[in-house]
Structure 1
């Protein structure tokens, strides 16, 4: 005899993972439109690099016929391109490491210690979100000139660390506050000091938040343009955003090569963000819950 599974009224028998809510078609339509607006320019730049400049001028919206690999090959074999990749990587890694280390230590003190002026200190970092780099670029330029950091990679990643700290601390403080105090008490009973508690327990538990601020710092540094433009005066020290400008100026008549250079310059940031997007969402969600 066949058996029937009785379901409560209003309960859908379809697996939760296969459900599709048709009750909100406007939401899905809006999401598709936003995704198309976001992806279309990137796809156009990437595909345009496989065409010739003559074909682009004749039909800007056309499809590559045939597919031309020369533009990408010329960029990938240029020593200046790889030098700019190395410079951007060094600056981005130094910025990320500095932001994560300094940010988590400052956030740990604000979140776990009760001292006079703690709220004022946290408010100061919050106010730092209101002052973008463009506001302070002139005094920052003069300060870097006085201390001799103009023209060096350190003159780029040190200010980037400073301007990324407010966002980092705002994200990490809720994470560290949400960790139960009983864990610290238990660690103290076992003989673990505050430093040991910080390295052995606090850092592993705040991993999603650290990944989030690290990815944001890396991408922000990789895409930075204004600060490297004013700081780096030697073409051998240029980052990829400056390299795109230099290349587009030098080869202004070769549109296809410029599109190829631009697509290769943005590829590492897009790939890095795509691989870490779930960690970013989880980290921001944890920060909101905390």
Structure 2
């Protein structure tokens, strides 16, 4: 009976200890409260964010609204609103063959650059991430060093090289250098994606009879799609907004891209400020729409690269 009593006491004490351990103490309550308090955002953060957003959107809104005004309205009240709205400026730009020609040149250049960057960058990244050979680290460091040399630094020797190749006044003279200068960013983003792919997948694919190229197209390309989309978007926007390289390479107005077209249009219609603002608005709308649609892809791709 004593043993039973002792065992029962021990059992009851064990149960009581278990019950007491499950009851949150004052320390854990304070920790939960402090964690909940940390989720509260300081109002100053919202104020700073709103000021920053307004500072970035104000010039864009001024350009867009300026296209709906007349030159007299802009001269009388530079910061005023259109009263009434004038659609003639935008109609004049849209009915101009020069605008559509420059839009087509920009689209050709941006699409060709994007395709070249994605295809070559994915191939190079696959080799650097999955193959082991002498000098692999040095080659990767060479691509990383390419991030420190913007195209502006190399514009003079690059122009001489393009001229020797006979590619001046040719969109290919803009596309090829843009691909070369976009490859470092592409490689830096894609290599972590490809290194994160388990080696077991490649071993299983080889057991099933897949070759290196088969593994590349069937496994590597689909699994690295977030990084590929990110690098493609960055290359497209950079090519669309490129100004300094087309300025040196393209001297024929028939080959102008939109950034050069805006500059030429501003010089030609320098006294017609409203029409210049309308032309500028129409030239930046495609890039804004493209970036707005795919901005989440950019963030997701960069996050995956950091995790990898």
Query: Structure 2-normalised TM-score?
Result: 0.87
* 1:206-255: CA deviation from partner (whole Å, max 9, x where unpaired): 11100000000000000000110110111011000000001000000111
Deviation for aligned residue 1:155: 0.2
1:267 alignment counterpart: 285
Q: Which runs of 4+ in 1 moved over 6 A?
A: none
Moved more, 155-164 or 38-47: 38-47
Any stretches of 5+ residues in structure 1 without a counterpart?
1-6, 13-19
* 1:180-209: CA deviation from partner (whole Å, max 9, x where unpaired): 111111111111111111101111111110
Q: Which of 197, 200, 207 is the matching residue for 1:179? A: 197
Deviation for aligned residue 1:11: 7.0
Distance, in Å, in 2 between the alignment partners of 1:221 and 1:182 is 38
Structure holding more helix per residue: 2
1:25 alignment counterpart: 43
Structure 1 residues 9-48: aligned runs within 5 Å: 21-48=39-66
1:210 alignment counterpart: 228
Distance, in Å, in 2 between the alignment partners of 1:199 and 1:32 is 45
What do you get for the CA RMSD once the two structures are aligned?
A: 1.8
1:68 alignment counterpart: 86
1:201 alignment counterpart: 219
Distance, in Å, in 1 between the alignment partners of 2:105 and 2:82 is 33
Distance, in Å, in 2 between the alignment partners of 1:185 and 1:268 is 44
Distance, in Å, in 1 between the alignment partners of 2:253 and 2:69 is 28
Distance, in Å, in 2 between the alignment partners of 1:148 and 1:128 is 25
Distance, in Å, in 1 between the alignment partners of 2:93 and 2:69 is 14
Deviation for aligned residue 1:39: 1.1
1:64 alignment partner, SS class: coil
Distance, in Å, in 1 between the alignment partners of 2:190 and 2:86 is 47
Distance, in Å, in 1 between the alignment partners of 2:252 and 2:41 is 58
Does residue 54 (structure 1) correspond to residue 72 (structure 2)? The answer is yes
Distance, in Å, in 1 between the alignment partners of 2:239 and 2:220 is 26
Q: Which of 168, 181, 184 is the matching residue for 1:166? A: 184
Query: Structure 1-normalised TM-score?
Result: 0.93
Deviation for aligned residue 1:28: 2.1
Q: Which of 248, 252, 274 is the matching residue for 2:270? A: 252
Q: 1:79 to 1:31 in 2, by over 3 A?
A: same
- Considering only CA atoms, is the larger Rg found in Structure 1 or Structure 2? 2
Deviation for aligned residue 1:26: 2.3
Deviation for aligned residue 1:29: 2.0
Any stretches of 5+ residues in structure 2 without a counterpart?
1-23
Distance, in Å, in 1 between the alignment partners of 2:45 and 2:39 is 10
2:16 alignment counterpart: none
